[in-house]
Structure 1
């Protein structure tokens, strides 16, 4: 568990959330999920989809 930043590879959208290419966003890891910040707030994702979500971001630890 921990906190780190990811950088959006492209402009992304998962309505109503967006991420802007080149900007960094905070990730907070919990035991069975992680929280990903967006331009509008934050989303909780289960760890089972982490690889698919992070295909869209560069991890900057």
Structure 2
């Protein structure tokens, strides 16, 4: 089952062509072994093994994640 929630960027961020704007809210869809994180340009997939590291750059909105 997929789990969907929102995160807020703590700073302006960039990974390759994907960017996130400080203070903006983005959607996360978590699946069995990976998650999809929306960006200003589309979305990016991450294995769940790096979830904690990735979320160090985002605030998981209360009651979610």
For the superposition of Structure 1 and Structure 2, which TM-score range results when normalised by the shorter chain? over 0.9
> How many residues of Structure 1 are paired with residues of Structure 2 in the alignment?
61
Segments of structure 1 that go 5 or more residues without pairing to the other structure are none
Hey, what does 2:30 align to over in structure 1? 29
Aligned mates of 1:31, 1:37 — CA distance in 2:
18
What are the Cα deviations for residues 17-57 of structure 1, in whole angstroms up to 9, with x where unaligned? 00000000000000000000000000110000000000000
- Correspondence for 2:53: 52
Matches of residues 7-46 of structure 1 in structure 2 within 5 Å? 7-46=8-47
Q: Normalization by structure 1: what TM-score?
A: 0.97
Moved segments of 4+, more than 6 Å? none
Consecutive unaligned residues of structure 2, counting only runs of 5 or more, are none
**TM, length-normalised to structure 2:** 0.91
Please, what is the CA RMSD of the aligned residues?
0.6
